[in-house]
Amino acid sequence: MNTGKKILITGGAGFIGSAVIRHIINHTADSVINVDKLTYAGNLESLAEINTDSRYVFEHVDICQRAELDRIFNEYKPDAVMHLAAESHVDRSIDGPAAFIETNIIGTYTLLEAARQYWNALDLPKKNAFRFHHISTDEVYGDLEGTDDLFTEETSYEPSSPYSASKASSDHLVRAWQRTYGLPTIVTNCSNNYGPYHFPEKLIPLIILNALDGKALPVYGNGLQIRDWLYVEDHARALYKVVTEGVVGETYNIGGHNEKANIDVVKTICSLLEELVPNKPGGVNHYADLITYVTDRPGHDVRYAIDASKIERELGWKPAESFETGIRKTVEWYLSNKAWWSRVLDGSYNCERLGVSNQK
């Protein structure tokens, strides 16, 4: 394992990005430059435990700002880039696709060009060691027809939503910059993440928090859409493994080996809350009574499932958490961290988000 590297991470105040940064600061000797625009989903409170570490620095910068990216590359001289900054919520992409085109496509292009200019000026040893790791999603593949098929690294792209189409576009850009310009890139495509510090609009935290408040638990359509669930801290370990040991030009699919229908995820959370929070909100007999089926969203993919055998075979990574252990840890985290999620729900985390300046 390489140690003492400087890693530039975009989107490090987001759900997956903050998990990656916590992992690197807590478990390696590397340092991190966190570049984040701090959109609604960016929350520096997710990094509170490492915020004062001397190996961590935050830059409040939009990846579409080329001059700022050039300054950051020249000032910090990173050994690697982990590109996680992205608009990522499917429903939001349906309602307003423009932000997804801007951040996921234009932002990725701008970052690639800044990285390429920086990389071209490096001396040969540093040039050979540099990596640009692009973090993407399994949603670029579309959905699976059968019950046994899996997404592999060779699966053709068939994105269904404005979000997944914009991520597919960014994947193609990254691969083109490697083939055309020689920029040493690696791409990873992951399945659905869950775990601590997940923004409450996403399925699992939404169900947990709505249930605790006695609110309806919305389930799209019949709830039979299947996802492969990956605990976010397992994903963080995988991403670090890829940026330090992955092969340039390769793609690695990262999955949790945990296929679950959405309705089963919701019922599992209800069962855990029955055990952990038996004193329910007024008028609720069983948490599962709150389940409410709602109109399905347009273009909703039916099934995603990742074949993660390549990263296990070539890099020795596999998930440590089963869905059962991971979902219990997740529910327990939300029960123990009301201060974090209540500040997200009431918007008070925005005060820090909107008033932040560069912290060095």
139 is catalytic: yes
SS3 201: coil
What's the CA gap between 224 and 242, in Å, rounded? 32
What's the CA gap between 301 and 96, in Å, rounded? 19
- List the catalytic residue out of 109, 141, 163, 240: 163
What's the CA gap between 220 and 297, in Å, rounded? 7
List b or e across 35-69, with b for residues whose CB sees 16 or more CB atoms inside 10 angstroms.
Answer: bbbbbebbbbbbbeebeeeebbbbbbbbbbbeebb
Most distant CA pair in the chain, distance? 68
SS3 311: helix
163 is catalytic: yes
Task: Compute the C-alpha angle 260/242/34, nearest 5°.
Answer: 95
Those residues with Cβ within 8 angstroms of residue 208's Cβ, 6 or more apart along the chain or in another chain: 269, 273, 330, 331, 334
- DSSP for 27-72, written as a single string: HSS-EEEEEE---TT--GGGGTTTTT-TTEEEEE--TT-HHHHHHH
Residue 231: its H or E element = strand 226-231
Query: Taking the CB of residue 294, how many other CB atoms lie within 10 A of it?
Result: 12
* Terminal alpha carbon distance of the chain: 27
- List the catalytic residue out of 139, 228, 233, 259: 139
171 is catalytic: no
Q: Is 107 left (phi over 0), alpha (psi -120 to 50) or beta?
A: alpha
- List the catalytic residue out of 36, 59, 62, 138: 138
- Which positions are catalytic? 138-139, 163
